[in-house]
Amino acid sequence: MSLAADTYHLFRRAIKKVLRNPILLFFSLLQPIIFLVLFTQLFSKFASVPGLFPPGLTYLEYATPGILLQNGFSSALQSGTSMVDELNSGMLEKMLVTPVNRSAILLGRLLSDAFRVVVQSVIILVLAYILGFNVAAGLGGVVSMLVVIAFFGLAWSGISLAIGLRTRSAETVFGIGGFLTFPLLFMSDALVPTSAMPSWMASISGVNPISFAVDAVRSVSIPSTALSTLSLSLPGDVASALGYIAAIAIVTLGATLYLFRKVVS
């Protein structure tokens, strides 16, 4: 069996596990809808603040990329809990005593996480479209957005998996995940432009990976006229974002790989 075949089987196994858990499936699909409706309603008045947004840009158009990334970020951080479950229940050992390729165990898990994030993102996009959101760059832009989001999800899954492998505690994964989610989200331009932030927070947003990925998504979703007047804190194009996310992925997935090897050897 090749690495690709093993990865495919384990990817299917992980997806089937989610599909066969109706409660998890329901909340996985509901979560992005809640995020979209909640945030766009809660902060909708931002668009009417003079000078904050370019004329004609709605808060839905501004925030949808942020909500997409925030959802991907939150979902990815849950990845470690599944790994903890497999470690503690003996399911991982059950895999390891078969001739399966060790790397496929990790790859199958990561790809299933990325796939879940993409499905959730499509749900958000469809709902946002119904509410009036459009992707300026068309279908190609949608694909670029999904690539950035999936790649971002993979990089952040690495953090969650590394914590899970290191601590073997689902509570710790949740605790650290929750601790990271909100400061990173609110100190980025995902939901609020940096011009509306205190200067120190705007500075942090300037180096926040969420800002970088969100701005890359905005670069294909928002019309270029509006984009040019919107103060994005970072270069904000898809290629740069992928490079930046790749750097994060090298660190997070590198740590995951190191810890996974320790667990399986």
Partner 1 sequence: MAPSLEAVKVTKKFGGFTAVSDLNLKIQGTKCVGFLGPNGAGKTTTMKMFTGLITTTSGNALINGVDVAKDKKAALASCATLIETPEIYPALTPKEAMTMLCEIRGVPPEERNKRIDEALGKVKMQEWEEKKVGSFSKGMKQRVNVASTLLSDPDVIILDEPSTGLDPRGMSEVRDIVKSLGNRLVFMSSHLLAEVTEVCQEVALIDHGKLLVYDTIENVTSRFAGSSGEVKIGFARPLEIQMGAVISNLGGVTSFSRVNDRQVVVKFDPKVLTQEKLFEAIAGLKAGAQTFESSSGLEDAYLSLIKETL
**Nearest residue (CB) to partner 1, 97 versus 139:** 97
Minimum distance from residue 99 beta carbon to partner 1 (Å): 4
Nearer to partner 1, 11 or 62 (CB): 11
Written as one letter, the residue type at 9 is H
Instruction: Report the residue number, 77 or 105, with the smaller CB distance to partner 1.
Output: 105
208: region left, alpha or beta (phi > 0 left; psi from -120 to 50 alpha): beta
At residue 265, the 3 state secondary structure works out as: coil
Q: How far is the CB of 13 from partner 1 (least distance, A)?
A: 5
Nearer to partner 1, 13 or 166 (CB): 13
Q: How far is the CB of 213 from partner 1 (least distance, A)?
A: 32
CA R_g for the chain: 19
Report d(CA 43, CA 63) in Å as an integer: 9
Report, in Å, the least distance between residue 4 CB and partner 1.
Answer: 13
Our CB check for partner 1 shows the closer of 6 and 215 to be 6
- Amino acid found at 15: I
Helix (H) or strand (E) holding 250: helix 238-264
**Residue burial 183-220, b: 16+ Cβ < 10 Å; e: rest:** ebbbbbbbbbbbebbeeebbebbbebbbbbbbbbbbbb
Closest approach of Cβ 174 to partner 1, in Å? 20
DSSP 234: S
Contact residues: partner 1, CB under 8 A: 1, 6, 9-10, 12-13, 16-17, 20-21, 89-91, 93-101, 264-265
CB 10 within 8 A of CB 100: yes
